[in-house]
Amino acid sequence: MPLAVELAGVDFAYPHGPPVLQRVDLRVEAGEFLAIAGPNGGGKTTLLRLVLGLERPSEGSVRVFGRPAGKGGGRIGYLPQRSRLLGEAPDVDLMIRTGGEQRLSDFLLWESAYAELVFTPCMWPEFARENLESALLEFSRRHRRFGALPAPNGKTVIPADVL
């Protein structure tokens, strides 16, 4: 079986900028777990963008499951923590948290301000279509008020900010 991700001699710089990555060699086996840590501006996001095929290296090669990056047949993807960096993305309507945790862990906090939250004990690798359908069914049964408060007379009241 080919490697899940392979970078060989990768160099990258954004136009008119200094080098971001130099001579990067990386091999990730299928099923292997990898954490990428480093300082701000260290090239972590750029490395992922190269693997996804969103950027092209100035030198070297990037392969995903044996194919050039961006041509992996949909077998790899990511959800950026700061979705606004990619342009105007809609806010989150439903946030599903797996693994039994009942917190967001600083993930999409701003975008999830009015999201409905569903918590499931199922771990992410085992999360299947049935789990998604269950979460969507629970979501469909909720009455969303988007920050409004129910009034005693049955109408909806939207609190105003104090000036």
Could you tell me the pTM of the whole model? 0.51
Q: What pLDDT is stored for residue 133 in this prediction?
A: 92
Dmax of the chain from CA atoms?
A: 68
Q: What pLDDT is stored for residue 121 in this prediction?
A: 93
Q: What pLDDT is stored for residue 138 in this prediction?
A: 93
Q: What pLDDT is stored for residue 33 in this prediction?
A: 80
Q: What pLDDT is stored for residue 89 in this prediction?
A: 60
User: What CATH number is given for 5-68 in this structure?
Assistant: 3.40.50.300
Q: What pLDDT is stored for residue 162 in this prediction?
A: 47
Write out the residue limits of the CATH 3.40.50.300 domain(s) in the chain. 5-68
Q: List, for the chain, all residue ranges whose pLDDT scores fall below the cut of 50.
A: 162-163
CB-count burial class (<10 Å; 0-12, 13-18, 19+) for 147? exposed
